[in-house]
Amino acid sequence: MKSLGIVHDMNHKGELLLQASSAQRPGTWVFDRRKKKIGHVLRTIGPVKSPYVLVKVTGIPDAEKIQLMNSELFSSKELESRDRKRGSKHGKKKRKR
């Protein structure tokens, strides 16, 4: 587990704003201290030296979201690398003309 950052704020949609240690790719899974999946990264905003990350929280009631304030969240290194090209090796063959 890699430290993602500390939760600073929550908007009206229930999304969390974290001051991150580094920029993150959208879709990266986010976990709490207990390794429970919290949600995923929506976008990274702000300057490169001190970025902020917006996290969409899924499956957690608002009461628990408030308890996440000022706590540290984490991301998984394995799930963070989504650079690979998606799709199958055996795609459609091109027609010869």
Task: Work out the average pLDDT over 63-91.
Answer: 69
Residue pLDDT, tens place only, 28-55 = 999 999 999 999 999 999 998 889 999 9
Q: How confident is the model at residue 90 (pLDDT cuts 50, 70, 90)?
A: low
Angle in degrees, CA 2, 32, 46, rounded to 5 = 65
Position 24, amino acid: Q
Is pTM beyond 0.85 here?
no
d(CA 92, CA 1): 38
Q: What does the DSSP assignment read for 32-82? A: -TT--EEEEEEEEES-SSS-EEEEEE-S--HHHHHHTTT-EEEE-HHHH--
Whether 39 contacts 26, CB under 8 Å: no
What is 2-80's CATH number, 3.40.50.620, 3.40.50.300, 1.10.10.10, 2.40.10.230? 2.40.10.230
- What residue spans define the domains of the chain? 2-80
DSSP state of 63: H
